[in-house]
Amino acid sequence: MGIDLSVKLGRIEMKNPVMTASGTFGYGEEYNQLMDISKLGAIVTKSITLNPRIGNPSPRIAETASGMLNSIGLQNVGVEKFVIEKLPFLRKTRVPVIVSIAGDRTAEYVEIARRLNTEEGISGIELNISCPNVEEGGMELGTSPRLTSMVVNRVRKVTKSTLIAKLSPNVTDIVTIAKAAEEGGCDALSLVNTFLGMAIDVKEKKPKLANITGGLSGPCIKPIALRMVWQVSRAVKLPIIGMGGIMDSADAIEFIMAGAAAVAIGTGNFVNPMTAIEVIDGIKKYMGENKVNRIVDIKI
């Protein structure tokens, strides 16, 4: 019996459990010259809004100890340009495509999901209700159980794609939010998004980010993200995509052991574009060395 890396998220069948995290892999084509993206379990696009956005002013990235802060502000081409210019390439990859969507209001999420529902080549919709880098919508929706359930439920009614809610760690009780998303009708959960953070340039005597605060990601958040995946996996019946500081296969295996069905590589893509491929190979090697035939059997 061979090693089986396949996993299923809702109706999405993935050949392995490794995908890219939204906002760190562009629209897929940007990495095509650097790696064989057909080897990925799935591709998650950067978040798409109803209309194009130019994002926040620069500087909007700052390096921190064992991580990075970003305040991109959901810069993107907008849904119509995405469909015309970006989706044709993604259709050719033969990899499940999960489109991350964001908005200022619930109605925008619904409108984007309805528009994408008419297009072929989209396997899933990830609701980014947890971005800490916009003034309205985003994290506001993801920190209220009532609003979380509402936006999931309304989008569920207009899309046939697998629906994934991306949760914010910037809450008092992430289990409550996860349960609300489950009750709203989503098929899977992504957790976690970035933590709200800040850095100051002591020489210049001013914040390192023009927007002052930003989302903290990288190895520094992994222990907290891992704990949240562990807690949520024991409170809901939905498959979980674990993320937060995964830099190698050992990190990914920890998340799977904690209860994640799949993992997403984020900051690691910036450090080493081959991270996702190396994680896939590393998981397979680990399973072979430990005589584990199915990826689901890694869980503890």
- Residues involved in catalysis: 131
Q: What is the 3-state secondary structure (H, E, C) of the chain?
A: CCCECCEEECCEEECCCEEECCCCCCCCHHHCCCCCHHHCCEEECCCECCCCECCCCCCCEEEECCEEEECCCCCECCHHHHHHHHHHHHHCCCCCEEEEECCCCHHHHHHHHHHHCCCCCCCEEEEECCCCCCCCCCHHHHCCHHHHHHHHHHHHCCCCCEEEEECCCCCCCHHHHHHHHHHHCCCEEEECCCEEEECEECCCCEECCCCCEEEEECHHHHHHHHHHHHHHHCCCCCCEEECCCCCCHHHHHHHHHHCCCEEEECHHHHHCCCHHHHHHHHHHHHHHHCCCCEHHHHCC
> How far is 112 from 103, CA to CA, in rounded Å?
9
Q: Report CA-CA distances (Å) from 188 to 125, 129, 162, 171, 225.
A: 10, 14, 8, 19, 17
C-alpha pair distances (Å), 132 with each of 73, 195, 221: 9, 8, 15
